[in-house]
């Protein structure tokens, strides 16, 4: 089955959350202590998803707070050049900074991110900076879970979600769990559950659902989806890294998407590229099986490249990879 979206809207996706800076190690296969140079990219999961979606041709906008400095200017200019509407990205006037994510590429399997997110501008997005007249123009509001980590960004997201529901805008919740900034798993669970219960589509890894469910051990996919289907969700996606992903429809259908073979350089960026291509396919009326292929192929392309945002693929690159590996 395909998912339907309100066609009478100017934007396909408006994302809310952080737009930051990634500093990706230029020297691979060595620890951070021995990494001397980095390349700067725009980063932050929802910014990456917005950029990836825009590159695929979706009409995309962004709601977020960025620093009023050179990094903020860089982020805004880059996103705008990539086709993201930045009219609702506001500058922080209190001297707060951009979040920085330094990546360590020890091996294709062992990557980590060292995050600097104290006093970051994105978590100071205020509810008064969330504009109903903007949100109502979109088919989809894409919410990043990290924006729920602190007030006032937390309340800004709650406001955006309630405006989306009021104005027939589908809410897509990407759990995007980053332990940094949260006080406890209990706290994450409370706020993630509150937004997941209002979301039409929920996308996360198995581990992220375990955090949302406040579990210490791995939960069961069917139990997770049964719980979400009691609320607004019509589609729940559960990602399993190299084992691919599953999409569960409220109707009871279950679809599996494989991971594509690729030359892995680093693992991060997989989830964001997956989300942008999965949503692109859904919003272009493709069935869920095809959307899973788009997500998996897009992720395979990004994990073979150096960045997350700059490496986002085109539709023809994704289609080519799906075609090349269609018999495997
Ligand atoms: N090493 C890999 N090779 C090929 N495809 C991959 C690889 N890792 C992930 N993927 C693809 O990306 C999808 C999402 O990956 P994953 O489940 O790791 O999400 P994530 O944890 O959100 O990603 P991220 O590492 O960006 O946070 C998977 O379902 C799979 O299709
Ligand atoms: O999400 C972040 O803040 C860091 C990202 O930009 C980074 O590229 C990544 O981890 C993507 O999954």
Q: How many angstroms from the chain centroid is the CA of residue 317? A: 20
H or E element in which residue 205 lies: strand 201-205
Q: Is 83 left (phi over 0), alpha (psi -120 to 50) or beta?
A: left
Asked whether the predicted pLDDT for residue 166 surpasses 90, the reply is: yes
Q: Of the ligands numbered here, which is closest to the C-alpha atom of 144?
A: 2
* 221, 270, 302, best to mutate for ligand 1 pocket (most atoms within 8 Å of CB): 270
CA of 259 to the centre of ligand 1 (A): 8
**45-55 and 270-283 helices, crossing angle to 10°:** 40
Q: What per-residue confidence (pLDDT) applies to 9?
A: 97
Angle between helices 45-55 and 70-81 (to 10 degrees): 30
| Spatial CB neighbours of 82, under 8 Å, sequence gap ≥ 6 | 51, 54, 55, 309
Ligand 2 centroid, distance to 197 Cα (angstroms): 25
Provide, rounded to the nearest whole percent, the portion of the chain with pLDDT above 90.
94
The total number of residues written for the chain in this structure: 328
pLDDT of residue 328: 58
pLDDT by residue (tens digit) across 218-232?
999 999 999 999 999
Strand order in the sheet with 111-116: 38-43, 20-25, 100-105, 111-116
Ligand 1 atom nearest the C-alpha of 240 is: 17
The alpha carbon torsion through 285, 192, 208, 4 (nearest 10 deg) reads -10
Q: Does residue 1 have a pLDDT over 80?
A: no
As a dihedral over the C-alpha atoms of residue 74, residue 79, residue 80, residue 81, rounded to 10 degrees, the angle is 90
* 44 pocket-lining for ligand 2 (C-beta < 6 Å): yes
Q: Please check the confidence at residue 181 and state whether its pLDDT lies above 90.
A: no
Beta bridge partners of 13: 60, 140
| ipTM over 0.85 threshold | yes
Confirm or reject: Cβ of 116 under 6 Å from ligand 2: no
| Cβ-based neighbour number of residue 31 at 10 Å | 12
Section 298-323 average pLDDT: 97
Our mutation pick for probing the ligand 2 site, out of 272, 276, 305, counting the most ligand atoms within 8 A of Cβ, is 272
Shortest-distance Cα residue to atom 4 of ligand 2:
44
Q: Is the CB of 308 under 6 A from ligand 2?
A: yes
Give the pLDDT mean for 181-199.
97
Ligand in nearest proximity to the CA of 145: 2
Please determine, for residue 200, whether its predicted confidence score (pLDDT) is greater than 70: yes
Q: Which long-range contacts (CB under 8 A, 24 or more apart) does 244-253 make?
A: 244/292, 244/296, 245/274, 245/292, 245/295, 245/296, 246/221, 247/288, 247/291, 247/292, 248/221, 248/222, 249/1, 249/288, 251/1, 253/1, 253/288
DSSP string, 77-143: HHHHHTTEE-TTEEEESS--B--EEEEEESSSS-EEEEEE-TTBGGGG--GGG--HHHHTTEEEEEE
Note the pLDDT of residue 246. 98
Taking each continuous run of H as one helix and of E as one strand, the counts in the chain are: 10, 14
In the chain, what are the domains?
11-18+44-95+118-324 (3.40.1190.20)
Substitution candidate for ligand 1 out of 49, 207, 241 with most atoms within 8 A of CB: 241
Residues 252-291 have pLDDT tens digits of 999 999 999 999 999 999 999 999 999 999 999 999 999 9
pLDDT score of 109: 86
Answer whether 48 contacts ligand 2 (Cβ < 6 A).
yes
Residue nearest to atom 2 of ligand 2 (CA): 44
| Distance (Å, whole) CA 126 – CA 155 | 7
Task: Report the C-alpha dihedral over residues 24, 30, 36, 38, rounded to 10 degrees.
Answer: -10
What is the distance in A from the centroid of ligand 1 to the CA of 181?
23
Please state, in angstroms and rounded to a whole number, the distance separating the CA atoms of residues 97 and 179.
19
- In this structure, the residues whose C-beta lies within 6 A of any atom of ligand 1 are 205, 239-242, 244-245, 259-260, 262, 264, 267-272, 274, 296, 299-300, 303
In sequence order, the 6+-apart residues with CB closer than 8 A to the CB of 287 are 1, 2
The band of 28, judged by pLDDT with boundaries at 50, 70 and 90, is: confident
Q: How far is the CA of 160 from the centre of ligand 1 (A)?
A: 28
CB-based contact 280:251 (threshold 8 Å): no
């Amino acid at each position: 089955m395909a998912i339907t979206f309100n066609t009478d809207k100017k934007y396909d996706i408006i994302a809310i959350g952080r737009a930051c800076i990634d500093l990706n190690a230029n020297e691979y296969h060595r620890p951070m202590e021995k990494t001397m140079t980095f390349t700067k990219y725009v980063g932050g999961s929802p910014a990456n998803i917005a950029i990836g979606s825009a590159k695929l041709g979706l009409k995309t906008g962004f709601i977020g707070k960025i620093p009023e400095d050179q990094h903020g200017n860089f982020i805004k200019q880059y996103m705008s050049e990539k086709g993201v509407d930045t009219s609702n990205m506001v500058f922080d006037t209190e001297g707060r900074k951009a979040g920085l994510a330094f990546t360590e590429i020890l091996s294709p399997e062992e990557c980590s991110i060292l995050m600097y997110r104290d006093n970051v501008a994105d978590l100071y997005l205020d509810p008064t900076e969330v504009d109903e007249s903007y949100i109502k123009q979109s088919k989809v509001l894409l919410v990043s879970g990290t924006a729920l980590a602190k007030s006032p960004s937390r309340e800004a997201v709650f406001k955006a979600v309630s405006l989306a529901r009021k104005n027939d805008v589908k809410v897509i919740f990407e759990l995007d769990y980053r332990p940094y900034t949260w006080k406890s798993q209990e706290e994450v669970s409370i706020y993630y559950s509150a937004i997941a219960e209002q979301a039409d589509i929920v996308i996360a890894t198995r581990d992220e659902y375990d955090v949302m469910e406040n579990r210490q051990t791995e939960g069961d996919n069917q139990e997770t989806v049964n719980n979400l289907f009691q609320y607004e969700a019509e589609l729940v996606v559960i990602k399993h890294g190299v084992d691919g992903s599953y999409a569960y429809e409220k109707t009871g259908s279950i679809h599996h998407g494989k991971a594509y073979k690729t030359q892995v350089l680093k693992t991060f960026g997989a989830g964001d590229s997956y989300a942008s291509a999965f949503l692109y396919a859904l919003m272009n009326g493709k069935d869920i099986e095809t959307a899973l292929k788009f997500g998996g192929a897009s992720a395979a392309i990004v994990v073979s490249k150096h960045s997350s945002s700059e490496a986002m693929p085109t539709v023809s690159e994704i289609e080519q990879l799906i075609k090349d590996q269609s018999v495997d």
